[in-house]
Structures are given as C-alpha cells and as structure tokens.
Amino acid sequence: MSDRAVFLDRDGVINVRRPDHVKSWAEFRFAPGSLCALRRLATMGERVVVITNQAAVGRGLLTAAGLASIHALMTDVVAAAGGRIDRVYACPHRPDWGCGCRKPGIDLLLLAATELDIDLRRSVLVGDSATDVLAALAAGCQPVFVGEPDGDVLLRGVPSAPDLLSAVPLIEAVRRSAVPC
Ligand SMILES: [Mg+2]
Ligand SMILES: [Zn+2]
C-alpha cells in the first residue's frame, strides 16, 4: 500500500521568506520553531517531502547546483535536529514560463507520488500561500495553511495556524480523523 506523507512548502514554512529570494545558504534562516516541528513530524512517523517554487533559478539569481546545495544543507541540519526530509522537489521556472510544476501546478506532487510511492489522498500539504492550498486541493491532499490566512483560505475552511510548529496539532488531528483503509 502506498504510504502517506506530509508535503511542506519551503519559504515561509521551514525558513523565513525573503522578498528577494533565498539565494545562498547564508540567507537561509530556519523559521522559529520549524526544526522542532520537523522533529515532531518525524516522531509521528511521517514522511516529509518538500515541494517548493524556486523561480530564483529561472531568474538567474541562483544556479540549480546552488539551490541543490542549500537543500542538502537544510536536510542535514533538519536530520541533526532529529527531523527528516525524505526528498526536496523544486520548480526552477519563472511564473511566466507557464510550467506545470510551479504551484498551483501539481506536477511535482504527482512526481513525488510516483517516485516515493505516496498516496496523495492520505497526505497533507502545508503552505503559506493560496497557491499551496490550490495545489493541495487539486492533488487531493489535505491542505493546512500557516501564516496569516486570507479570506479565500478562511472561506474554504482550510485548517490554519500561525506557523509550522502550531500546525503540528492540526496535522495530528487530520491523522486521527482519517478513515483507515
Ligand atoms: Mg511559501
Ligand atoms: Zn516549473
């Protein structure tokens, strides 16, 4: 049987979002409580997969290799703190290229489901943007919003929390209410 997973957006969820993009490891700052949250998710036995839009690559602000090295370091620090990141999937394209992998597109979620044998319908996607919520709904995942919810998020009844650490109990609640299959 396919496994379930918690998909995490990166900027604004794991690390502090920068308006000018995270272009190097020096600019990468873990969001308050996110390492603790990742450890708790690992304790819950959740597989954790990061799905992130990184148009900084398409804009020429960062190379694909530079992005991969940020993700390798991020994964190492998370593991050292007792958490886990099973895989990072990043869309490197600019919004105007119209690719299908930039959220709200779901190509990376479908790829993860195939490559890692994940059941999207038993999975949760945590993000801080409306595009994360839309991608989750389009892929059949349970969305969880972190940050200041806008009207659309509230309207759709998406569970919301100020940050990833406060979202962990919401994810636990989703898991408790899940119908066993
Ligand atoms: Mg984000
Ligand atoms: Zn893309």
pLDDT digits (tens, 9 = 90+) for 133-145: 999 999 999 999 9
The count of other CB atoms within 10 Å of the CB of residue 156 is: 14
Least distant ligand from the CA of 51: 1
| 94 CA to centre of ligand 2 in angstroms | 7
pLDDT computed for residue 152 by the predictor:
76
d(CA 145, CA 132): 8
pLDDT at 53 over 80: yes
Predicted model pTM: 0.95
* CA-based end-to-end distance of the chain: 10
| 45 CA to centre of ligand 1 in angstroms | 24
| 142 CA to centre of ligand 1 in angstroms | 16
Catalytically active residues are 9, 11
Least distant ligand from the CA of 8: 1
Query: Picking from 72-86, 110-124, 155-169, which range would have the lowest pLDDT averaged per residue?
Result: 155-169
| 92 CA to centre of ligand 2 in angstroms | 6
* Residue 5 DSSP SS3: strand
pLDDT computed for residue 24 by the predictor:
97
pLDDT computed for residue 154 by the predictor:
75
DSSP letters, 109-144, are: HHHHHHHHTB-GGG-EEEESSHHHHHHHHHHTPEEE
Least distant ligand from the CA of 54: 2
pLDDT at 22 over 60: yes
